[in-house]
Amino acid sequence: MFGMSNTIQTPYFVMYEKKLIHNLKKLNELEEKANIHILHTVKSFNQDTVLPIISAKLSGMSVTSPKELDIAKKANAKKVHLYAPAFKEEVLKEMIPNISTLSLNSLTQWQKFLSLPVSKGLRINPKLSLAIPTHCNPNLNSSRLGVDFVDFLDIYHDNKSQFEELEGLHFHALFQDKTEGLSLLLEHIVKYYQKVLPQLKWINLGGGHNFTDANYDVNNFVKLLDNFQTKYPNIKLYFEPGETVTKGCGDFMTTVLDIVVTEDIEVAILDTSIETHLLDVAIVNQSLQVKNTQKKVTPYFYELSGNSCLQGDLIGKYYFTEPLQIGDTIVFEDMMPYTMVKMTEFNGMEKARFYLQ
């Protein structure tokens, strides 16, 4: 299967190196065309056998913790950006010598860590009205992620002296964006931060950029950034696009252990679980892409479930193109970003193995 020995036992993740190299080439070209720095987000994908490949092609990595920093260092990341909603003082001080830029999440943390010897910035909530799922929308008025931009600007204008050490701003405001959202974000920045921008050395425009999508408008992206950089040549632009680095680069392989019937629905029990290998399903009720299924109604309708003792361990309902049999392989497609990093051993299940092909 996929060029691998049939003795390989499921469940396992498989990454296709050629597809990863294709993505990295597109990202590297984008860095050069737009004069930007793209950082791989360690929390989206952290396989130590693959990170050196990513590190060799991109400008660096973004991390949130000492463990992720250690992973980035071992992968020889060129630049390291650090952000978390809050830091313990002793932990942050230990990390500072090994990071390039730091984003702090609140004005309280800004005051607390003002004297640290590192290029510091603030994460800002621009409160943009964008069509983003609530669970990952950082623009909400109630969001704890970032300083309300109105509050920041009011305080900055009233007492600029407390921001003499401010070298960067961080906006993580988009979701699977194809430049429309970026255009609005840049308009927001140019409109509201005119007095702040001259003193900055960098802006981190965060994640949510769908750079490796076939329909991504590279020309418009470059044009938008050219216009901004012409006005503010003093500012380096960082992006940490998360899933787009490994998007489309690998699958998750499982096996049908049994098929039971409940209320006339055939339920296929797989050797996996939403609690162990597929936490995205549990957290955001995500509908996964399953090979040999389609939206069109077929006679072969199954509910896929996990093998834990949790009644709610239900992966989803799918129409297959042919009937399932015990022992069949079920392939979940495009499972590299934000999946393996969340694995647990709930109910005694082992973490799924990883293969690079």
Asked whether residue 213 is marked as a ligand-binding residue, the answer is: no
Residue written as tokens 């696009």? 241
What is the distance between the alpha carbons of residues 227 and 220, in angstroms, rounded to a whole number?
Answer: 11
Of 4, 2, 12, 9, residue with least CA distance to 353 = 12
Residue written as tokens 């650090």? 82
What is the distance between the alpha carbons of residues 204 and 210, in angstroms, rounded to a whole number?
Answer: 16
Helices and strands (H and E) in the chain: how many? 9, 18
Question: Could you give phi then psi for residue 350, rounded to 5 degrees?
Answer: -85, 150
The answer to whether 29 and 220 have CB atoms below 8 angstroms apart is no
Q: Please give the single-letter amino acid code of residue 153.
A: L
The answer to whether 330 and 256 have CB atoms below 8 angstroms apart is yes
What is the distance between the alpha carbons of residues 239 and 225, in angstroms, rounded to a whole number?
Answer: 12
CA 271 vs. chain centroid, Å, equals 26
Asked whether residue 243 is marked as a ligand-binding residue, the answer is: yes
What is the distance between the alpha carbons of residues 273 and 164, in angstroms, rounded to a whole number?
Answer: 50
Neighbours of 51 (CB within 10 A): 20
Question: Could you give phi then psi for residue 302, rounded to 5 degrees?
Answer: -135, 150
Q: Which residues are annotated as a binding site?
A: 243, 280
Q: Which residues are annotated as a binding site for substrate?
A: 243, 280
